Amino acid sequence: MVVRVNGISVSLDGYAAGPDQSLENPLGVGGERLHDWLIATRMFHEMSGEDGGSEGVDDQFAAGLRTGIGATIMGRNMFGPIRGEWPDQDWTGWWGDNPPYHNDVFVLTHYAREPAVMDGGTTFYFVTDGVESALDLALEAAGDQDVLIAGGASVIRQYLRLGLIDQMHLAYAPILLGGGERIFDQPGDGADRYECVGFVPTDAAIHIRFARKSDR
């Protein structure tokens, strides 16, 4: 069992989301282009109920995004655009009635609400007592499978600073965003704890795999 980050798309200038995130632009202005490599793949087409899509290296990375995942952690901003107290229980994520997770998802928030039970085996739980508590719950829910830190960038940074992420796969898209939210934003974010263990360029992205450095 490991704690991992999978398939987070990053611009060449280091942004995992563009500026001015909103309901209309959940990934920030221009941020949708970060995922062009993924949207073009056969796996993404199949997940969306469509035919076609590219095969090859990008598709292989896309197919592995959910493999072996037993529980997921995400921030409230990734779950939805609502801020402050929950006005009601109506919002259940961007993904419709059958989200793509198919496991327990622990959403970090300052505001409690009842779990949201969705089709396909996904249940969203809302955790109000911090990132370490969410990880404890996710590890228990995952059994012998891995825990995915799904995002957004600020959540990944919090786990990196605590040294709790074992492996990362970042997909660098060939675009510049000029602003937004970074995963590695300052020296204390823990980049020095990791080493590159895989580097695969394609026409659509550069796939880089990182692992925590072994103790020396």
DSSP assignment of 103-155 equals: SEEEEE-SS----EE-GGG-EEEEE-S-HHHHHHHHHHHHTTSEEEEEE-HHH
Q: What is the pLDDT of residues 45-92, one digit of tens each?
A: 887 778 888 899 999 999 888 889 999 999 998 998 888 999 999 999
Q: What is the CATH number of the domain that holds 156?
A: 3.40.430.10
Neighbours of 205 (CB within 10 A): 25
Domain region containing 56: 1-17+29-68+146-216
Same domain (yes/no): 116, 10: no
Write down the pLDDT at residue 216. 44
Mean pLDDT on 33-56:
89
**Whole-angstrom distance, CA of residue 75 vs CA of residue 79:** 7
Please say which residue of 123, 144, 165 terminates a domain.
144
Last-in-domain residue among 144, 167, 185: 144
Looking at the fold, whether 80 and 117 belong to one and the same domain comes out as: yes
Residues 78 and 136 placed together within one structural domain of the fold:
yes
Residue 115 counted as domain residue: yes
Domain count, the chain: 2
Question: What average pLDDT does the segment 93-97 reach?
Answer: 91
Rounded to an integer, what distance in angstroms lies between the CA atom of residue 117 and that of residue 167?
29
Which H or E run contains 53? none
Residue 24 belongs to a domain = no
Tokens linked to 190:
């823990």
Are 208 and 198 in contact, with CB atoms under 8 Å apart?
Answer: yes
pTM value?
Answer: 0.92
Does one domain contain both 112 and 8?
A: no
Last residue of a domain, one of 128, 144, 160: 144
Q: Is 87 found in the same domain as 57?
A: no
